[in-house]
Amino acid sequence: MKNGEIIGQTAHQVTEAVGQRHDVLVIGGGNAALCAAISARRAGASVLVLEAAPRFYRGGNTRHTRNMRCAHDSATETLSGPYTEDEFWEDLKRVTQGHTDEELARHMIAQSKEMLTWIVDQGVRFQPSLGGTLSLGRTNSFFLGGGRAMLNALYATAEQLGVEIRYDAEVVGLEIEDGMFLSATVKEQTGTSQVRAGALVTASGGFEANIDWLKQGWGEIAGNFLIRGTPYNRGTILRILIDNDIQQIGDVTQCHAVAIDARAPKFDGGIITRLDCVIYGIVVNKNCERFYDEGEDIWPKRYAIWGRLVAAQPDQIAYIIFDARSLELFMPSLFPPIKGDSIAELAGQLGLDPDKLTDTVATFNNAVQPGTFDPDNYDDCTTAGLTPPKTHWARKIEQGPFYAYPVRPGITFTYLGVKVNKEARMIMSDGKPTANMFAAGEIMAGNVLGQGYAAGIGMTIGSVFGRAAGQGAAKYARN
């Protein structure tokens, strides 16, 4: 019955909407888009959301998220301790190595405090940090049921407020005049139509699913990248905005790239294809050569450099090799490891040269120094006289059976985007703010994240700038 009602209601709204002008048009359907739509609607604007994906795939990469990082001055029901604005800023400065806009970033961090309650008011529920993520228990608020549960709550709230939502509705053109948005061209199954609105919020994500665009920065090797999230982030809107004189920030190669299981699907494999075992073994390329210190730092801190490292290897593939002692030290993942009773046998299974791999492992084993292995903390297990060295968790790979995971670069999201100010208003290439155009989420994440990443910041950017964009757009459109 409930279904019938909603379908009936939506159909009714759609017929009404043909040719109708909305106060605010939101392009995109993820966290940033919904926060914008809800806040604009709450400010009294009529809102239309155009989501390019079908209903099931709605929400872009938000579907794959699990938490957001918000500053807070004391512990809460789900957060184990305080996380001050200053500490958040220090973390951001460190992960981006200063490649951020301090004023904008500090503004976002200050606003993030309110988001903890605002987002709950929109129906989203938090829970304590998940098993295997203890290190985030103080800083990050986890969504009960994950990102899709969060989306379901936001969509339900938006629908309840009377936000009109259309799926399978891809915007393929924008009519912009002197920094003023006039209308959008929407492609739907029923045909192509024009949508007019008083203000525009673009929250349509990055362009990581557009391999040709990635190739412009990375060259042909981008063809070997896997895309961890939505296949719908093709950057169509981002391209149109840049072509319409909106100021671009960031460069095409900046993105969040980790090493994920090479057997993952090309798109949308999500979190379950990640591998947390690099620090317990060695990583070799297709020539059986090691190429980086696997034990440089505790894993969460180095997680996001391995995508780039593997991208720099021949054929963009590498293999994590470890022995039976390490098998249960890390979070399980989707695909089982490839197994061999000897290193040579394992090499055969991986299509690597057995002699070379045996040799690499033997050289590594010979360089391992005595030490006390501690899987959870920095330990004193290192190598001597080895290039590159392994500076922690260096244990001989000697106890069979032996295991391997093949890995490839997995792109989570991209940073090239459009420049915005604190109100999430887009900035023209001459530095002037646009009149009625706002951006939120991955499409403008590069304003805060010039490079690097810390868990949950993407959702913070989406919520804070999404809400600001919705408020700004509503205010403009209703004046």
Partner 1 sequence: MHATSALAEADRLMTVCNSCRYCEGICAVFPAMEMRRAFSDGDLNYLANLCHGCSACYYDCQFSPPHEFNVNVPATMAKVRAESYEAYAWPQFLAPTFRRNGLVISIATCLSVFAFIVGFVALRDPSVLFGVHVGPGAFYKLMPHNAMAVLFGAAFLYAMIAIAMGIRNFWRDIGEPASTLTKPTSLWQAIKDASSLRYLDGGGVGCMNDEDKPTDTRRFYHHLTFYGFLLCFAATTTATGYHYLLGLEAPYPWYDLPVLLGTLGGLGLVIGPIGLLRAKYQRDSELVEARSYGMDVGFLVMLLLTSITGLLLLVLRATPAMGMLLALHIGIVFALFITMPYGKFVHGFYRFLALVRYAKERGDAH
- Shortest gap between Cβ of 108 and partner 1 (angstroms)? 25
- Shortest gap between Cβ of 314 and partner 1 (angstroms)? 28
- Shortest gap between Cβ of 145 and partner 1 (angstroms)? 4
- C-beta of 144 vs 180, nearer to partner 1: 144
> Does 265 contact partner 1 by CB under 8 A?
yes
- C-beta of 1 vs 18, nearer to partner 1: 1
Which of 28, 30, 146, 337 is in the footprint of partner 1 by CB under 8 A? 146
348 residue type, one letter: G
Q: Where does this chain touch partner 1 (CB under 8 A) — which range of 262-270, 314-322, 348-356, 445-453?
A: 262-270
Cβ atoms < 10 Å from Cβ of 7 = 10
- C-beta of 143 vs 303, nearer to partner 1: 143
Which of 11, 75, 120, 144 is in the footprint of partner 1 by CB under 8 A? 144
- Shortest gap between Cβ of 337 and partner 1 (angstroms)? 12
Q: Where does this chain touch partner 1 (CB under 8 A) — which range of 62-70, 163-171, 216-224, 392-400?
A: 62-70
Query: Rounded CA gap, 304 and 454, in Å?
Result: 9
| Cβ-proximal residues to 345 (8 Å cutoff; 6+ apart), any chain | 354, 402
Interface positions, 118-137, toward partner 1 (CB under 8 A): 125, 127-128, 130-132
- Shortest gap between Cβ of 88 and partner 1 (angstroms)? 24
User: What string of DSSP letters covers 167-200?
Assistant: SS-EEEEEEEETTEEEEEEEEETTEEEEEEEEEE
Which of 210, 236, 333, 447 is in the footprint of partner 1 by CB under 8 A? 333
- Shortest gap between Cβ of 336 and partner 1 (angstroms)? 8
Which of 19, 328, 370, 387 is in the footprint of partner 1 by CB under 8 A? 328
- C-beta of 143 vs 465, nearer to partner 1: 143
- Shortest gap between Cβ of 425 and partner 1 (angstroms)? 32
Query: Rounded CA gap, 20 and 466, in Å?
Result: 24
As a three-state string, the secondary structure of 287-337 is CCCECCCCCCCCHHHHHHHHHHHHHCCHHHCEEEEEEHHHCCCCCCCCCCC
Q: Is the dihedral of CA 127, 60, 202, 473 positive or negative?
A: negative
Query: Per DSSP, what are the bridge partners of residue 142?
Result: 67, 127
113 residue type, one letter: K
Helices (H) and strands (E) in the chain, counts: 12, 19
Interface positions, 25-54, toward partner 1 (CB under 8 A): none
- Shortest gap between Cβ of 266 and partner 1 (angstroms)? 10
Query: Rounded CA gap, 215 and 438, in Å?
Result: 28
- C-beta of 42 vs 64, nearer to partner 1: 64
Q: Where does this chain touch partner 1 (CB under 8 A) — which range of 32-40, 265-273, 291-299, 438-446?
A: 265-273
| Cβ-proximal residues to 47 (8 Å cutoff; 6+ apart), any chain | 22, 23, 24, 25, 26, 37, 40, 41, 158, 163, 164, 470
- C-beta of 53 vs 115, nearer to partner 1: 53
Which of 60, 270, 456, 470 is in the footprint of partner 1 by CB under 8 A? 270
What is the pattern of x (binds partner 1, CB under 8 A) and - over residues 151-170?
-xx-xx--------------
Structure-block tokens of residue 306 = 């391995």
| Cβ-proximal residues to 72 (8 Å cutoff; 6+ apart), any chain | 79, 82, 83, 113, 116
Query: Rounded CA gap, 388 and 301, in Å?
Result: 19
- Shortest gap between Cβ of 275 and partner 1 (angstroms)? 10
Terminal Cα distance for the chain, rounded: 40
| Cβ-proximal residues to 209 (8 Å cutoff; 6+ apart), any chain | 227, 229, 230, 231, 232, 233, 234, 267
Q: Are 420 and 432 in contact (CB under 8 A)?
A: no
- C-beta of 198 vs 205, nearer to partner 1: 205
Instruction: Give the number of residues in contact with partner 1, rule: CB under 8 A.
Output: 37
321 residue type, one letter: I
Which of 28, 30, 60, 147 is in the footprint of partner 1 by CB under 8 A? 147
Q: Which residues bind partner 1 (CB under 8 A)?
A: 1-3, 6, 56, 63-64, 66, 125, 127-128, 130-132, 142-149, 152-153, 155-156, 265, 268, 270-272, 274, 328, 331-334
